[in-house]
Amino acid sequence: MRYDVLRDFDRTTSPRAALSRWDAQPDSLQPVGESQNFVYRFRDPAENVRYLRLTHDSHRTRPLV
């Protein structure tokens, strides 16, 4: 993992921006882990637990996303 990615990742804005694309409860967002990915747990409107994984773009090309 590139250490500059870990250092420069905005742990407040980026996960919330990604979560806004899902039908989710924003206040339920909790960090779970951080290594080559940033993993967060959140709840959907039905109270189901879901996971959000954010990774550097060098791990996934745009067409794969």
Q: Is residue 15 packed enough to be buried (19+ CB in 10 Å), middle (13-18) or exposed (0-12)?
A: buried
- The C-alpha atoms of residue 47 and residue 59 are separated, in whole angstroms, by 30
Q: What is the pTM of this model?
A: 0.70
| Higher-scoring residue by pLDDT: 61, 41 | 41
Return the closest-CA partner of residue 41 out of 59, 65, 63, 15. Answer: 15
User: What pLDDT does 35 receive?
Assistant: 77
Cα-to-chain-centroid distance, residue 64:
17
Model pLDDT for residues 10-54, shown as the tens digit of each residue: 777 878 888 888 888 888 989 898 877 889 999 988 999 999 888
